[in-house]
Amino acid sequence: MRIRIVDAFTDAPFTGNPAGVLLLPESTEFPDADWLQRVAAEVNLSETAFAHPLPPGGDADWALRWFTPATEVDMCGHATLATAHVLHTTGTATGTATGTVRFAARCGILSATPREDGAITLDFPTSPLTPVETPDGIAEALGARVISVHDTGPHIGDLVVELADEQTVRGLTPDIRALVRHSERGIIATAAADRPGLGYDFVSRGFFPRVGIDEDPVTGSAHTALAPFWASRLGTSLTGLQASARSGLVRTELRGERTLLTGHAVTVIDGELLTAP
């Protein structure tokens, strides 16, 4: 089986967020979860996506699952973008995908639509936001004053933590181990852009030690919460910059219960997995 590594939410190799993508042969089910987890641990990226084709005529074209090196997750944006990119470029033995591809995942039906500029738009469920009291110790763990905290609900299980400004987000050097106890999955630190004219409206960084990822380079799923968080202040069509060392841009459009996430992707490695399930 061919396995690819794709840099997502970027148009330049070695930036954005790398994901493993393994398109499985036509089957009615996935291999054993332990085997999927072992492959993801071997790839050792923030997520590896596994997909197999579904029979025609249903609600989705492909079944899709995502694994970090440590566990399976309910939702992943960048690995979905990477999978759609593979389907629309190198494709499978039966050819490349054209038009919208629909995925059946643990968080529901997702879709990926190619654009004329080469980007791909993902259609994801909007994460419900609930304001919560600032948890004791989270400011100390981040090393920054906290403005507000919102819970993101099921599927992503993060806390969106608003900080004072862009430079505070960029300069974070958090106590990663201390962050573990503060959310189901991770912490999304965010602030409005200091200079929106530079091409982005807000910044973020994502820390997910509970699922084996100290800092994720560009977290697509987090933008299903960041889009509604910033929409009331900045508008419903925004661009987020995830200010990790690799960095990446996510264009967002809030459409009520759905959020569109748009970005580019680049395949950087195309190889062969020699161990079958």
Residues with catalytic roles: 47
As a whole number of angstroms, the distance between CA 196 and CA 192 comes to 8
| 168 touches 192 (CB < 8 A) | no
Query: HEC string of 12-28?
Result: CCCCCEEEEEEECCCCC
E strand or H helix at 61: none
As a whole number of angstroms, the distance between CA 24 and CA 28 comes to 11
| 46 touches 35 (CB < 8 A) | no
Question: Can you say whether residue 47 is alpha, beta or left, with left for phi > 0 and alpha for psi between -120 and 50 degrees?
Answer: beta
As a whole number of angstroms, the distance between CA 64 and CA 54 comes to 10
Count how many Cα atoms sit within 13 Å of the Cα of residue 201 in the half-sphere of its side chain: 18
As a whole number of angstroms, the distance between CA 24 and CA 72 comes to 17
Q: Checking DSSP bridges between strand 213-216 and strand 202-208, what pairing results, if any?
A: antiparallel
Q: What share of the chain is helix, strand, coil (3-state, %, to 5)?
A: 20, 40, 40
